[in-house]
Amino acid sequence: MLIKTNIFILILFIGITIQALPNEASDSTFNAAKTYIRKSQPDAAIPLLLKIIEKTDSEETIIKANINLAEAYRQKVV
């Protein structure tokens, strides 16, 4: 019985970890894009921000990415 419980807990933990990975990946991608924007490198930031918008389901993340995308395009035009 104890082994079954441990296996069940392990499966739950793996499932939670797998679900958390996309957010962590988009967070690191978002931080990289913001770094490129701070360094005035919009050509590097724009593809990263578009990837975030395409792959995320979080409305808050999409809004932040759109704001930073607008800044990247502003830098590109200037």
Domain ranges of the chain: 22-77
Contact 50, 69 (CB under 8 A): yes
State how far Cα 72 lies from the chain centre: 17
Quote the CA–CA distance of 18 and 16 in Å, as a whole number.
6
C-alpha distances in Å from residue 78, one per residue of 6, 45, 47, 71, 74:
58, 16, 19, 11, 6
In this predicted model, what pLDDT tens digit does every residue of 5-16 receive, in sequence order? 656 555 545 554
* pLDDT tens readout for residues 38-49: 999 999 999 999
Integer angstrom CA distances of residue 51 from 24, 60, 62? 14, 15, 10
Report pTM.
Answer: 0.68
